[in-house]
């Protein structure tokens, strides 16, 4: 097994040399019901509209619903990678406007507690596809555990989705606090969803930013506000992303503005990554170290 792990590390190093530009983003929420998956899906589509190659990965194992939001039937899921010994490319589903998608599925108790053989196979498969994308968006399950927070630490950035409800704000803060206990440096971005109006949403953004700065000594990047738009529920009923179903709705405009703001801010920063801090290298350490 030592030889296999060494071979895997060499393969991953080759992958890093090919393309260090792939950015991994986890989308999280402290609690369910805040519209996280809808934001993940439509943000992925927005990135694609801006010319980016995107893979959307449903990590809400057993509870994922992104395929339903797209009106697509997922014939294979991440579970089939192990149970049917499929390749990861066989799991890819073509989504709207050029995005690729991998479904979460059921039957895998914990993706973050794979045995050595399965984790090495997952890493081997990931190396074949991640370097084909500009962005890989991981739509995570709600809530935090020690296992999934360690997976989050492999990400380049984390998007936190909340609403203006006190319970959602409290849970979002708790999630950020838990992440910061492990790594204070990982970039955090905040989006307020389902705001009654822009003023309420901005007030929530600023309040959370202030609290996180005061108590966690951590800067949070404020991405923007998405309104509580009736177009979203109609889009869900029609099983179509709201960017496609209601392109002129306020939420669609705001989502595109958020995406443009994010890309503009990232273009101002250096895109060069140290090989030891790239997503695939950190993910490798998560799965391989200590085995």
The string of DSSP codes covering 98-127 is G-EEEB--SS-S-GGG--HHHHHHHHHHHH
Which fold is adopted by the domain 2-288?
Rossmann fold (3.40.50)
Q: For residue 93, give the DSSP letter.
A: E
Buried b (16+ CB within 10 A) or exposed e, 131-150: bebbbbbbbbbbebeeebbe
Give the pLDDT of residue 122: 85
Q: What is the pLDDT of residue 290?
A: 42
**64 Cα distance to chain centroid:** 13
User: Which backbone phi and psi does 187 adopt, to 5 degrees?
Assistant: -65, 130
Count other Cβ atoms within 10 Å, centred on residue 252. Answer: 23
Instruction: List, for residues 198-227, the tens digit of each pLDDT value.
Output: 999 999 999 999 999 999 999 999 999 999
pTM of the full predicted structure? 0.89
Phi, psi at 97, each rounded to 5°: 55, 35
Model confidence pLDDT, tens digit, residues 234-247: 999 999 999 999 99
Residue with tokens 């939001």: 69
Residue 54 in contact with residue 99, Cβ under 8 Å?
Answer: yes
Whole-angstrom CA distances from 116 to 10, 45, 129, 287, 290 are 17, 35, 21, 8, 10
The contacts of residue 79 (CB under 8 Å, 6+ apart) are: 61, 105, 106, 107, 108
pLDDT per position as a tens digit, 33-56: 899 999 999 999 999 999 999 999
CA dihedral 149, 155, 161, 167 (to 10 degrees): 20
Average pLDDT over residues 242-261: 99
Quick one: pLDDT band at residue 287, thresholds 50, 70, 90?
low
Pairing of strands 188-195, 135-140: unpaired
Side-chain half-sphere of 131: how many Cα atoms within 13 Å?
18
Q: Which spans in 144-249 are helix H?
A: 146-152, 166-182, 198-216, 230-237, 242-245
Q: Where are the domains of the chain?
A: 2-288
């Amino acid at each position: 097994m030592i030889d296999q792990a060494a071979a895997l590390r060499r393969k991953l190093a080759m992958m890093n040399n090919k393309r260090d530009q792939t950015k991994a983003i986890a989308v999280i929420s402290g609690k369910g019901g805040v519209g996280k998956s809808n934001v993940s899906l439509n943000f992925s589509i927005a990135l694609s509209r801006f010319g980016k190659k995107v893979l959307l990965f449903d990590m809400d194992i057993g509870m994922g619903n992104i395929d339903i939001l797209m009106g697509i039937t997922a014939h294979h899921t991440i579970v089939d990678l192990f149970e049917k010994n499929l390749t990861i490319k066989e799991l890819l589903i073509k989504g709207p406007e050029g995005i690729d998608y991998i479904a979460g599925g059921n039957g895998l108790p914990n993706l973050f507690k794979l045995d050595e053989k399965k984790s090495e196979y997952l890493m081997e498969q990931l190396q074949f596809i991640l370097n084909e994308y500009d962005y890989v968006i991981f739509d995570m399950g709600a809530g935090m555990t020690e296992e999934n927070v360690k997976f989050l630490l492999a990400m380049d950035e984390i998007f936190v989705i909340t609403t203006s409800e006190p319970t959602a704000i409290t849970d979002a803060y708790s999630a950020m606090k838990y992440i910061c206990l492990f790594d204070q440096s990982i970039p955090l971005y905040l989006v307020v969803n389902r705001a009654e109006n822009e003023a309420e949403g901005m007030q929530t953004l600023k309040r959370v930013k202030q609290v996180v700065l005061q108590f966690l000594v951590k800067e949070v990047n404020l991405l923007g506000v998405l309104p509580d738009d009736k177009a979203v529920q109609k889009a869900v009923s029609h099983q179509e992303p709201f960017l496609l179903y209601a392109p002129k709705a306020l939420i669609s405009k705001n989502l595109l503005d958020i995406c443009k703001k994010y890309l503009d801010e990232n273009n101002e920063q250096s895109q060069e990554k140290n090989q030891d801090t790239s997503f695939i290298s950190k993910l490798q350490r998560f799965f391989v170290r200590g085995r």
